[in-house]
Amino acid sequence: MKGVSIIGVGLTKFGEHWNAGFRELISEAAGKAITDAHVDGQDVQAIFGGCMASGRLLGQEHIGALIADQLGMNPVASTRLEAACASGGVALRAGIMAVASGAYDVVAVGGAEKMTEVSTEEASTALGGAGDQEWELFNGATFPALYALMARRHMQEYGTSEEQMAACAVKNHANAVNNEFARYRKAVTIADVMKSGYIASPLKLLDCSPITDGAATVILCSSEKAKKYCDTPVEIIASGQASDTLALAQRTTLTEMKATKEAARQAYTQAKIQAKDVDFAEVHDCFTIAEVMATEDLGFFEKGKGGPAAAAGETALNAKVSINASGGLKAKGHPVGATGIAQAVEATLQLQQRAGKRQVSNAEIGLTHNVGGSGATCVVHVYKRL
Amino acid sequence: MKNATPLIWRNSAARYNLAGNHCETCGKDYFPERVVCPTCRRRGKLSAKQMPTDGKIYSFTHVHAAPAGFEHETPYYIAIVELENGVHLLTQLVDSPAEKVKIGTNVKMCFRRIFEDGKEGLIAYGFKFKVV
Amino acid sequence: MVGIVGYGTYVPRMRVKVDEIARVWGKEGARISKGLGINEKAVASFDEDSCSFAVEASRVALKSCGADPKGIGAVFVGSESKPYAVKPTATMVAEAIGATPEMTAADFEFACKAGTAGVQACMGMVSSGMVKYGLAVGSDTAQGRPNDALEYSAGGGAAALIIGKEGTVADIDATYSFTTDTPDFWRRQHAEFPRHAGRFTAEPAYFKHVLSGAKGLLAKTGTKPEDYDFAVFHQPNGKFPLRAATMLGFEETKAMQGLITPFIGNTYSAAAMIGLCSVLDVAKPGQRILVVSYGSGAGSDAFKITVKEGIEAKRPKVAVLNAIEDKEYVDYAGYVKHRRKIKSL
């Protein structure tokens, strides 16, 4: 297998793009990435796109072809991948495999979601497609409800508090203040989170990531050719992916994501590192409890200690491990298909020392963690400078 | 899709009466029923089995923001219930006073409307649970 | 002899007080309560209807007596508040209790006596040997137009009786019906709420038919009020059944055990049947019960019932009068939300 590196990244601002549709968003992100990578359109040999719910949100399927078409890149092979909120992560993995296998030298991997064309209820219903429609969503569950069921068990089993979960939101909002691509560049306090109103108890509005539009792209190149295009390529030194039951009720535990643990195990083995070697991580904080669990399942903290660690500031920028320097899904926004790629963009910017005021000092090893649904898919990638 | 008539009809035995199945090879019970036993796979031998209708709350949440079709029922409880045979399922909790909705509280199955396809469409009935 | 093999009831948990309804319309709650003999009424929640009620009551009946649901050859559900105008409630009930598929099923409508009409149909099928057991259910989520007199009384509930020959907990010794064309209460096709003829619903309607039904049964069986330990009448309010009892020569006390409307309102097709179930909760073997249902339009079904040995073992775990103690009050706003009386619902 060949080494694979990121040679260029592109991101739209995350937010409510009333004046931009799916086509404009992907074109902007891809255009920026291609420019950043100093590649020519014709250098890109294949496209992989992550998108979760365009059919439900836009009535548009066949996203792979649409991307190639809109970028003026026909007849290049272009394929959509879907794994709910991990669509970006699995698209990235597909791109990595395609280059690592030697099939291609340069591929573009994008992720996008245009979520604000429909009402909040319709968007929630579409997101519900990430769970078990027949047996869980059918009965009135929502995604906040599924994560709330995990939070309640975590509180029961480990004494995690609502304030500790709120600390994740507070920290992510603080980080997003310094991210010009983030949706919410506004600091919040624990009190703000605590009084923000229940969505699905114990989760409140400010525990939840927002329905957001956005797109992200990375250009991948075989590591042996990466420096031909880019002075500071970032190598993806591990890619792990695992699955779990679609239905939350079928899990043997609600306080850990087995798919995260397995994907992390694969990634740490491939990268020949341990959790303590990771300097910063972009973790999938669709809800604050998800960040608490991710920091435990990825091995940064013992099981049950994720909440206290967040509350103690151990996950803040340049603390023990910098978690979600970008602001995370919580404050940067969560255009579901784009999220996995946006995480890779942030890892690249951090390792290239391009993260501005949110720069993690001495960033050597970064990790991204992208979850589909309530944990039925998990993708973990590890990055370092080539 | 929730309003798919064949789906609502096909799942009615499970939704009305917790009809699940059981692997004769490993002894595990499944609800909803599985086509393949995830433990035994090809060696599994699955046969129909009724789930018990009593259980206890394993986890719960009070839902204030509902998806389409449930907007008028808020706030409502969603719970994962552990049935007496250890099987977990996700359900709404109804007729349950807030002070009694706790992890470990005993609950039993009841029969309710689950979902209706607008005012003129099909009504899906089935299990919900209530605090005993 | 044909009789009741098992019985069960269901009353929704929510209650709205007559006082609270009166408050909204600027009326004197205490006076209305006293006039109707109703303190509060049971209200179906948002996700309940006459079908879900019927299933719950039928499950209690089956579980209590231990009858094999596959032995049920007929399911008849009587209601004036069906969830579907076309699509039987009875098939859903039959499926939910495990009686399908070798059986027959149908919905009955006869205002408040559709449930006992089902009992009579089951009696005929059981007696003739067509079926082993028949299940007759009366179930309603009664609708009263806001600010109509009916709004104070229209409640919700269900009762299910399994009719058979073997293992009866009470025998139905005789039945008698009295039927005429009397327009005291109706709901036109597609109309949301029923209309009623005010005071006309009393003398020429309720009392004429209930008294005639009772007298006809007494004459047919050669019995007198003294021969009965309990009397249950259709109970559109808390007053009519007591007046009917007195007019027939029954002591009021004999009607009290079966008088449930003061606590849950008029449950229409279920009303007389829930009253009967409450009597079966306490009646001793050998005791006799007179039941007279009434349905607008109009007719009455009267039954002479004798309680059998062994009833103690087959009673539901919770008696009707205890079950209705599990309740939760809602205000008028909660009531109109759950009953979908807000126009946009």
How far is C138 from B22, CA to CA, in rounded Å?
Answer: 37
CATH number at residue C84: 3.40.47.10
Q: Is the peptide bond before A75 cis (omega within 30 degrees of 0)?
A: yes
Please tell me whether the overall predicted TM-score, pTM, comes out greater than 0.90 for this model: yes
Residue C133 shares a structural domain with residue C197: no
- From chain A, the residues in CB contact with B128 under 8 A are 139
Per-residue pLDDT of B17-33, as tens digits, reads: 999 999 999 999 999 99
- From chain C, the residues in CB contact with B12 under 8 A are 95
Residue C163 shares a structural domain with residue C21: yes
pLDDT at C216: 98
Query: What mean pLDDT do residues A50-60 have?
Result: 97
Please report, for chain B, the start and end positions of each structural domain, with discontinuous segments joined by +.
5-16+53-131, 19-51
Amino acid at A274: Q
Asked if residue C344 is part of any domain, the answer here is no
Contact C72, C97 (CB under 8 A): yes
Asked if residue C343 is part of any domain, the answer here is no
Q: Quick one: how far is CA B31 from the chain centroid?
A: 8
Catalytic residue list of C: 80, 112, 234
Interface of C with B in 86-145 (CB under 8 A): 92, 95-96, 98
Provide DSSP, A163-205. HHHHHHHHHHHHHHTT-TT-S------HHHHHTS-EEETTEEG
Token pair 């989760």: residue = A203
Query: What mean pLDDT do residues A87-111 have?
Result: 98
Structure tokens that stand for A104 in this block: 């291609």
Asked if residue C345 is part of any domain, the answer here is no
Contact A278, A364 (CB under 8 A): no
Contact C140, C329 (CB under 8 A): no
SS3 per residue for chain B: CCCCHHHHHHCHHHHHHCEEEEECCCCCEECCCCCCECCCECCCCEEEEECCCEEEEEEEEEECCCCCCCHHHCCEEEEEEEECCCCEEEEEEECCCHHHCCCCCEEEEEEEEEEECCCCCCEEEEEEEEEC
B84 min Cα distance to partner chain C (Å): 18
Residue C85 shares a structural domain with residue C208: no
How far is A310 from A305, CA to CA, in rounded Å?
Answer: 9
State whether residue C249 is helix, strand or coil: coil
pLDDT at A121: 85
Work out the percent of chain C whose per-residue pLDDT is above 70.
Answer: 100
Specify whether A334 is catalytic. Answer: yes
Residue C91 shares a structural domain with residue C208: no
Per-residue pLDDT of C166-212, as tens digits, reads: 999 999 999 999 999 999 999 999 999 999 999 999 999 999 999 99
List, in sequence order, every residue forming a beta bridge with B22; answer none if it has no partner: B29, B47
Structure tokens that stand for A361 in this block: 């000092």
Q: Which of A335-344, B110-119, C13-22 has the lowest mean pLDDT?
A: B110-119
pLDDT averaged over every residue in chain A: 97
**Chosen from B125, B127, B131, B132 to mutate, greatest number of chain C CBs within 10 A:** B125
pLDDT at B119: 87
Per-residue pLDDT of B47-93, as tens digits, reads: 999 999 999 999 999 999 988 889 889 999 999 999 999 999 999 99
How far is A131 from A248, CA to CA, in rounded Å?
Answer: 8
Tally A–B CB contacts below 8 A: 106
C55 min Cα distance to partner chain B (Å): 7
B interface with C, Cβ–Cβ < 8 A, is 12-13, 16-17, 72-73, 92, 94-95, 97, 110-114, 123, 125, 128
- Please state which CATH number belongs to domain B5-16+53-131: 2.40.50
All chains having 3 or more CB pairs closer than 8 angstroms to chain B? A, C
Residue C74 shares a structural domain with residue C188: no
Give the pLDDT band of residue B1 (cuts 50, 70, 90).
low
Per-residue pLDDT of A146-199, as tens digits, reads: 999 999 999 999 999 999 999 999 999 999 999 999 999 999 999 999 999 999
Contact B106, B132 (CB under 8 A): yes
What is the extent of the structural domain holding C268? 174-310
B9 min Cα distance to partner chain A (Å): 12
Asked if residue C100 is part of any domain, the answer here is yes
Per-residue pLDDT of A198-219, as tens digits, reads: 999 999 999 999 999 999 999 9
Residue C159 shares a structural domain with residue C237: no
Contact A170, A189 (CB under 8 A): yes
- From chain B, the residues in CB contact with A248 under 8 A are 80, 90
Domain count, chain C: 2
Token pair 């920091």: residue = A295
How far is B49 from A362, CA to CA, in rounded Å?
Answer: 59
Q: Do A200 and B88 touch (CB under 8 A)?
A: no
pLDDT averaged over every residue in chain B: 95
pLDDT at C241: 98
Residue C237 shares a structural domain with residue C163: no
- From chain B, the residues in CB contact with A135 under 8 A are 32, 89-90
Measured at the alpha carbon of residue C257, what is the angle toward residues C254 and C261, in degrees to the nearest 5? 115
Q: Which among C129, C145, C1, C8 has a CA at the least distance from the CA of C63? A: C8
Structure tokens that stand for B56 in this block: 């206890």
A360 min Cα distance to partner chain B (Å): 37
pLDDT at C123: 98
Q: Which among A102, A65, A61 has a CA at the least distance from the CA of A82? A: A61
Q: Please, what's the largest Cα pairwise distance for chain B?
A: 47
How far is A202 from A194, CA to CA, in rounded Å?
Answer: 10
Rounded CA Rg of chain A:
19
| β-pairing verdict for C72-78 and C104-108 | parallel
Amino acid at C13: R
Domains of chain A with CATH codes: 4-119+212-234 (3.40.47.10), 143-203+236-385 (3.40.47.10)
How far is C48 from B126, CA to CA, in rounded Å?
Answer: 11
Per-residue pLDDT of C31-62, as tens digits, reads: 999 999 999 999 999 999 999 999 999 999 99
**From A334, A369, A378, A381, active-site residue:** A334
Residue A294 has pLDDT above 90, yes or no: yes
pLDDT at B2: 66
Residue C14 shares a structural domain with residue C97: yes
Residue C57 shares a structural domain with residue C162: yes
pLDDT averaged over every residue in chain C: 97
State whether residue A373 is helix, strand or coil: coil
How far is A256 from A261, CA to CA, in rounded Å?
Answer: 8
Name, in order, each residue with C-beta under 8 angstroms of A210's C-beta and a sequence gap of 6 or more. A183, A184, A333, A334
Per-residue pLDDT of C83-126, as tens digits, reads: 999 999 999 999 999 999 999 999 999 999 999 999 999 999 99
